[in-house]
Structure 1
Amino acid sequence: MSNPIYTSPDDAEAAFSAALARADIDGMMSVWSEDEEVVCVHPGSIRLVGLVAIRESWRQLFASGSRINVSISHPVRWVSVMTAVHTLQQHVHVEGDDRLHPPIIATNVFTRGALGWRMVMHHASLAPDMDSLHSNDTPHVVH
């Protein structure tokens, strides 16, 4: 089976979300660039470098049997001829779990090549608790 050609970074990002919702490892990996320098950081996890490590992380997540639906809000997109950077909030709902999960802030980086747009980086982290951030007078800049 040949990999699809994503004609825009938005198409690649939509395929990423759809594969996540279906727990589809082949669909997920079809979005990623075949470059070995790809990077993935799941919320609260270590940095994964390379397709083997990234595939295994998604395989483990999907093997849990949990279905994950993600809705996106507050997108900010920067696109040039060969590179696109999307930063957004992801609101995650796990089937069978009625808890309200905090939003996730994600950055997705895509590059354009001979086979269309592909993801080279996905970095996701939990959004800070805004109530506690506003409750004290300390600066909120880490670096």
Structure 2
Amino acid sequence: MTTVAAEIEKLNEAFYTAIESGDLDRMTEIWADDEEGRVALCVHPGWPMLSGRSEVLRSWALIMANTPYIQFVLTDVRTTVIGDVGLLTCAENILTAADTEDATFAAGRVVATNTFVRTSAGWRLWSHHGSPVLQGEDDEEETEE
């Protein structure tokens, strides 16, 4: 792995740590500023696309304020760097507080693409796109065997 790819992966880990700890200040540091021709983009699972740093950060503030507990275990991390852009894909294995009375925790899996851009302040997150992985009965039967 290149030094640049390792730097991007470290920033990616900081991104998920900020979510887990509800650290909006750190989240704000991680996202790139909007510039002409490049604005922050974010797609949360089940949400419409959010465009612009203010809108993206507002969404994270709402998520953090309404999520009492969340933990990410990242797997299948792959990083590609071309010039001043880094593309990282991963699987987010998520454990969170459940909304139901009969369960304390809920688990899920999301595949994510995080695009980073090199700025004058260093590498910053430009785009996050998370897509849920739906598990059907066949998937559940395979894991039970």
TM range (shorter): 0.7 to 0.9
Kept after mapping to 2: 8 A contact 1:71/1:91? yes
Give structure 1 regions of 4+ aligned residues with deviation exceeding 6 angstroms. Answer: none
Kept after mapping to 2: 8 A contact 1:23/1:67? no
The alpha-carbon deviation at position 93 of structure 1 amounts to 1.0
Please provide the CA RMSD for this pair: 2.0
Amino acid at match of 1:16: F
2-side partners of 1:81 and 1:65: how far apart?
36
Give SS of 1:13's match: helix
User: Among the aligned pairs, what percent are the same residue?
Assistant: 26
Considering fraction of residues, name the structure with more helix: 2
Kept after mapping to 2: 8 A contact 1:69/1:92? yes
User: 1:1-143 alignment to 2 at 5 Å?
Assistant: 8-35=7-34, 37-95=39-97, 97-99=104-106, 101-129=107-135
2-side partners of 1:128 and 1:10: how far apart?
26
Deviation per residue, 1:23-72 (Å, 9 max, x gap)? 11111111100125110000110100011111111111111141211110
For structure 2, the residue ranges without an aligned partner over 5 or more in a row are 1-5, 99-103, 140-145
Q: CA 1:73/1:130 → structure 2, altered by over 3 Å: closer, same or farther?
A: farther
Q: CA 1:131/1:79 → structure 2, altered by over 3 Å: closer, same or farther?
A: farther
Amino acid at match of 1:42: H
Kept after mapping to 1: 8 A contact 2:95/2:108? no
- Aligned residue pair count: 126
Deviation per residue, 1:69-113 (Å, 9 max, x gap)? 1110011211123111011100111146323x2310000000112
2-side partners of 1:67 and 1:53: how far apart?
23
2-side partners of 1:44 and 1:59: how far apart?
17
Task: State the TM-score, normalized to the length of structure 1.
Answer: 0.80
Give SS of 2:105's match: coil
Q: CA 1:76/1:130 → structure 2, altered by over 3 Å: closer, same or farther?
A: farther
Give SS of 1:54's match: helix
Task: State the TM-score, normalized to the length of structure 2.
Answer: 0.79
